[in-house]
Structure 1
Amino acid sequence: MSTLLSRHVFKGSETSTPSQIGDRSTSDVVVRIRTEDGRDDRLYCHSQILIEKSKYFADRLSENWPTCQILDSRNCVDVYCQESEFDHHVSVLRLFYIIVDGLVDDLWHGVKNAIGILQVAVKLGCPQIITACVNYLEAVPWEESEEEEILKIIPRLGSQVEPILARLLPVNHSSIMAIFLSTIRFATSSPLPIMNDLKSSAQEQLEYMLTEDDDAPLLTADDEIKSEVKECVKRLYGRFNNLLEALLSEVELSSDGGKMQSFQRLLSDLSWACQILTKLEIMRELVCNWMDASDKIVKAVKQARPTTELIETKLRVVEVAAKILEAIGYGTVILPTAKRLHMVKVWLPFVRVAKPVIDSATTTGDDAPTLKMDSELWQSLESTFVSIILALPSVEQAEILTEWLENEHIQYPDLTEAFEKR
């Protein structure tokens, strides 16, 4: 223990000579720390400090205590404890000599030790040490094992140590709601590029808040949440549609590199939004909007000037289209036959031409994009097309399958399964 632990100045007393625990020349009290196993250690202390710092010692050394032991011509106070608590009792006595007004920061030697000291401080009625322990434990990080010990011990110590548990208390619904609403608004916004990493973190946090695993989700999706999410995605899609119209008005898409980058970012945001909307079971509006704009989206990409950047744009388009088509193909969103057929006729030709281009794209070179492809994307999209086709009337099925067999890109998507089930 630091030498600081052994010094204390009597303030307001007749002497300003520092007293030191274990200083027999100035000690007037012996504290005997005793265990059931027979351990019996003596610490030479000072009554003024003990009375000032501890209710237990103040009571034992008062005139109201019926008996008074004498040892070495000094008052003697016994303190009984378990062997595992012995060192913590010694630490508390030493802390009497340095803690003034609860101010101490670096003498706890870790969370586990502080918990032990705190238990003794509560037992002996030591308000300054309790305050110092609470301040320390409330402020420092905990390991998982330490948190378990805190949850087991602290609730038994009374209201004075409750601040320690504040970080473990459940957040009330209104607070979580406020966090969610602020986060969804930011996650669906278009901030400056320098804030893109922060926006990605916000999107990840929203997914976590709505995810059910071994624990319940942080937030239950009620009508207010669904309404706000739909409104935020509506604004997001509005910005996407406005940019799409602007790009279509240009002779060559990509003549403005900034617009192309903005287009890619909005596509990425829509892809993420599909995941949130699917969790909340409110995909319909986005599916319908994307369906209405499908011809324009394909046209905009086709008229673009070929660049390595365009390949990434195509991939982002495919990612969103795959999630929209999945919602249609597996009955999440129910659409009439004509609209389902239209989606197949628009997106089947697009993806079968886009796939070899994207697959063959190189990511070497300073100007080439780094494509992060989901390895299951194409397989999932293929299965979705099969599901949609099989749900169409047989005449439309036959037309699609005939066109597929005659197409040079017959390798993808492989519609054999749909063909076999006819």
Structure 2
Amino acid sequence: MSKKVNIKPVDLSTTKDVFVSAIRFAVSIEGPCFPFGDELRISAQEQVDYMLGEDGDIKIILADDEVKSVVRMGVYNIINLFQVDLSSLLLDTNLELEAAGNRIMKRISDLEWMCNVLPKMDLMKIFVSKWVVISSNVLGIMEDKKFDHVMWGLKVKLIEVTCKVLEAVGYGSVILPAPCRVQLLKTWFPYVRKMKPLLDSNAIEETGFPYKMDEYLCQAIEGAILSLVLTLPSNDQADILAEWINSREIGYPDLSEAFEVWCYRSKSAKRRLVEGLDDHSDASDSST
């Protein structure tokens, strides 16, 4: 006679508590925890990564309103801390700039981490929507003359984070209204177009210059921008393509494909309009 095996139900509440606690430390909601400092934050991020990849019950937990609320709070907290530290760069003296730069690089590392984990939670829209709102302010600070020849690592990291946002919107995993898509593209497209030749020039002039947009990043940015342009209303496409054609940096990103598609769609729309008018005119003539 076989023995009956008692299977204990999975205690989702315990898993949820561990996940929520890890999120809170990972996104600095709990603040610094001495003497562990950054080690605890990084360890918590690794714990979240592990649970999202290995824990089969995590999808059930992610549907919980409390979990979503903590994640949302974490996104806002990380972005707000990033904005505060970025704004403080304008006030720091040249002697303080190196320490401030190290601090802001930790913040943007957290932003990168969030861009990697949020899609696994189907919550990337929270980050994208907030990034669209702050982008103009971020670039307003980064394009201050004080940073013309410094902070290259931060500038590249900003492009990498923005690439994640552009991919999410351009490929449809995050749906934004057309005005938000236009704002996102018009804010970052000129910056990327300007930074690429500057970084390439520095790499040529300065031996061992470590900051660059590598081939993978260049292709990812170009593909995301191309896809995003094609999602825009025709008039907005025309504005962006006209600016691209008139710019000196027409080589990158290459929007030739988007331009060809726009031309084809415009001709098709014009032809359909003319055919529609002709049909209407013929119908009027026959009725008389």
TM-score by length of 1: 0.52
The match for 2:184 is: 343
RMSD: 3.4
The match for 2:132 is: 291
The match for 2:195 is: 354
Q: In structure 2, how many angstroms separate the alpha carbons of the residues matched to 1:338 and 1:284? A: 16
Q: Counterpart of 1:335 in 2: which secondary structure? A: coil
Q: In structure 2, how many angstroms separate the alpha carbons of the residues matched to 1:180 and 1:229? A: 10
Q: In structure 1, how many angstroms separate the alpha carbons of the residues matched to 2:56 and 2:218? A: 31
Q: In structure 1, how many angstroms separate the alpha carbons of the residues matched to 2:157 and 2:177? A: 27
1:176 is displaced (CA, Å) by 2.3
The match for 2:266 is: none
Q: Counterpart of 2:58 in 1: which secondary structure? A: coil
Q: Counterpart of 1:421 in 2: which secondary structure? A: helix
The match for 1:226 is: 68
Q: In structure 1, how many angstroms separate the alpha carbons of the residues matched to 2:17 and 2:37? A: 21
Contact 1:312-1:369 at 8 Å conserved across structures: no
The match for 2:165 is: 324
Alpha-carbon spacing, 1:312–1:171, altered in 2? closer, same or farther (3 Å): farther
Contact 1:209-1:218 at 8 Å conserved across structures: no
Q: In structure 2, how many angstroms separate the alpha carbons of the residues matched to 1:171 and 1:377? A: 42
1:31-85 CA-to-partner distances (Å, cap 9, x unmatched) read xxxxxxxxxxxxxxxxxxxxxxxxxxxxxxxxxxxxxxxxxxxxxxxxxxxxxxx
For structure 2, list consecutive stretches of 5 or more residues without a partner in the other structure.
3-7, 263-288
The match for 1:183 is: 22
Contact 1:311-1:357 at 8 Å conserved across structures: no
Alpha-carbon spacing, 1:375–1:182, altered in 2? closer, same or farther (3 Å): farther
Contact 1:254-1:260 at 8 Å conserved across structures: no
Residue correspondences, number: 249
The match for 1:88 is: none
- The code of the aligned residue for 1:238 comes to N
Write out aligned runs for 1:168-207 (5 A).
172-189=11-28, 191=32, 195-196=37-38, 198-207=40-49
Write out aligned runs for 1:298-309 (5 A).
298-303=139-144, 304-308=146-150
The match for 2:79 is: 237
Choose between structure 1 and 2 for higher RCO, CA contacts under 8 A separated by at least 6 residues.
2
**Is 1:280–2:125 an aligned residue pair?**
no
The match for 2:106 is: 265
Alpha-carbon spacing, 1:253–1:415, altered in 2? closer, same or farther (3 Å): farther
- The code of the aligned residue for 1:230 comes to R
Contact 2:75-2:126 at 8 Å conserved across structures: no
Contact 2:229-2:258 at 8 Å conserved across structures: yes
**Identity of aligned pairs, percent?**
38
1:307-344 CA-to-partner distances (Å, cap 9, x unmatched) read 55x11000111111111222222233322222211211
Contact 2:92-2:100 at 8 Å conserved across structures: no
Which of structures 1 and 2 has the bigger CA Rg? Answer: 1
Q: In structure 2, how many angstroms separate the alpha carbons of the residues matched to 1:337 and 1:253? A: 41
Q: In structure 2, how many angstroms separate the alpha carbons of the residues matched to 1:287 and 1:407? A: 28
Q: Normalized per residue, which structure has more strand?
A: 1
Q: In structure 2, how many angstroms separate the alpha carbons of the residues matched to 1:252 and 1:345? A: 32
TM-score by length of 2: 0.73
Alpha-carbon spacing, 1:369–1:263, altered in 2? closer, same or farther (3 Å): farther
1:196 is displaced (CA, Å) by 3.7
The match for 2:50 is: 208
